[in-house]
Amino acid sequence: MDRRLLVLALGMFALGTDSFVVAGVLPAVAKSFDIGIGAAGQMTTVYAVTLALLAPTIAALAAHVPRKRLLLAGLGVFVLANLGTAIAPSFAIALATRALAGLGAAMFFPTATGSAASIVPPEKRGAALSIVATGMTVSTALGAPIGTLIGGLGDWHWTMVFVAALAALSGLGVLAFLSHIPMPPAVSLGQRLAPLADARVGLTLTTTFLFFTAAFTIYTYFAAVFGRATGHDPAKLAALLVAWGAAGTVANLWSGRLVDAVGSRKVLAAMLAMVLADFLFLPSTSAALWSAFPAAILWGACGWGSSVPQQHRIVGIAPQIAPIILGLNNSAVFLGTTAAGLVGAAGIQVLGADRLGYLAAALVAAAMIVSELADRRIDAAKAAGTPDRPAPAPVAMPEEARA
């Protein structure tokens, strides 16, 4: 195993842990700052929206900055921001440090994926990207539960120190092992956003946005939704998070084979339908631990498993500029996470945490409708012989294109 890739994967693990761990310590955060659970959820919202909006912007503006310097700068900002959250004297300052953490993540995220593809031979680039991406996926099964357990057994402030320590270790690895990273060709922000002019791309990305809004409406308030089942015991909550994350990790591995066998359209429709049913029954299944585990496993497997057929469909729309559209899809994921914090907070006020599943199910239903509209557009374009490449297309490929 190339240790340079492991270093980058560790950085992605830290970023992913920071994305998911707040949900596990949300009640403690709310109590610490004497605020409601919905308000505390905005810590996830601020981090996600900053990452979503700044990742493509920084990738364009910092195209001429040496990759190692950008990686170290991103991790440095990320470490300081999480330590700042740990010692924040007020909720307003905590929100500001979460935004700063999003900035650091936006500097590291696209740079790490592009660097992974550029430091290995062409025949190993796919494996390199898979290793780095696994860091983010594994964070759902290990990083978030460990951070939740640390916060439950000690104090949530130590959870943020744990995240900062992970990023610091990655930074030391970058400093020691990544001596030279080739520079990518520059692509402007306008060129990165150009594919949005294609309705097929717009509808497909809207599906991503709606689905992840639904999924993270539940996840952001995970501790509150499953509070009846866990009795707010940090060990039980961490176990539920492990089950959710592990199911998602496994599903990511086998869903690609399903797509190859029956096509992305059928796989995506089936997984969205199962998540819809899961969320509709969540007000009942989240009441007891014996039923909460199957609900979390089904949600984790089908929720994360749906990412593969969705990405497969996106690549099929415009394979020539797939890295750019996949980058837009990542932004749609984090924008959905952002919206989820707001939607979930409002849902708790109106419906209560126990019935949040109904609201999430409605959003999944909307995602299914938009997904079908996207497929019809794609089919119509194929029947009409429309070229794959959306117009206007970028004139150069971004750093991710080295994959």
CATH label of the domain that carries residue 274: 1.20.1250.20
Do 156 and 199 lie in one domain? The reply is no
Q: Is residue 289 part of a domain?
A: yes
Do 68 and 152 lie in one domain? The reply is yes
Q: Is residue 400 part of a domain?
A: no
- 183 and 303 Cβ atoms separated by less than 8 Å: no
Q: What is the DSSP letter of 119?
A: S
First-residue to last-residue Cα distance in the chain = 18
CA angle 194, 196, 199 (to 5 degrees): 135
Provide mean pLDDT across the span 388-401: 43
Do 38 and 173 lie in one domain? The reply is yes
Give every CB contact of residue 394 below 8 A, 6+ residues apart in sequence.
187, 191, 192, 194, 195, 321, 324
Do 162 and 198 lie in one domain? The reply is no
Q: Is residue 251 part of a domain?
A: yes
Joined together, the tokens standing for residue 223 give 């501790």
124: exposed, middle or buried (Cβ count in 10 Å: 0-12, 13-18, 19+): middle
Q: Determine how many CB atoms are found less than 10 A away from the CB of residue 280.
A: 17
Do 133 and 99 lie in one domain? The reply is yes
Provide mean pLDDT across the span 107-135: 78
CA angle 295, 300, 304 (to 5 degrees): 150
Which of these ranges, 253-262, 353-362, 388-397, has the smallest mean pLDDT? Answer: 388-397
Do 99 and 205 lie in one domain? The reply is no
- The label of the residue with tokens 């990518």 reads 184
Do 111 and 7 lie in one domain? The reply is yes
Do 275 and 194 lie in one domain? The reply is yes
**What is the rounded distance in angstroms from the CA atom of residue 86 to the CA atom of residue 159?**
8
Q: Is residue 393 part of a domain?
A: no
Do 143 and 241 lie in one domain? The reply is no
| Domain closes at, from 181, 202, 221 | 181
Q: What is the pLDDT of residue 392?
A: 45
231: left (phi over 0), alpha (psi -120 to 50) or beta: left
Q: How many domains does the chain have?
A: 2
Which of these ranges, 200-214, 244-258, 361-375, has the smallest mean pLDDT? Answer: 244-258
Q: pLDDT at residue 273 above 70?
A: yes
Range of the domain at 90: 1-181
Q: pLDDT (tens digit, 9 = 90+) per residue, 184-200?
A: 666 666 767 777 778 88
Q: What is the pLDDT of residue 248?
A: 84
Q: Is residue 391 part of a domain?
A: no
Do 167 and 207 lie in one domain? The reply is no
pTM (2 decimals)?
0.79
Q: What is the DSSP letter of 227?
A: H
Q: pLDDT at residue 57 above 70?
A: yes
Q: What is the pLDDT of residue 396?
A: 41
- The label of the residue with tokens 């997904």 reads 371
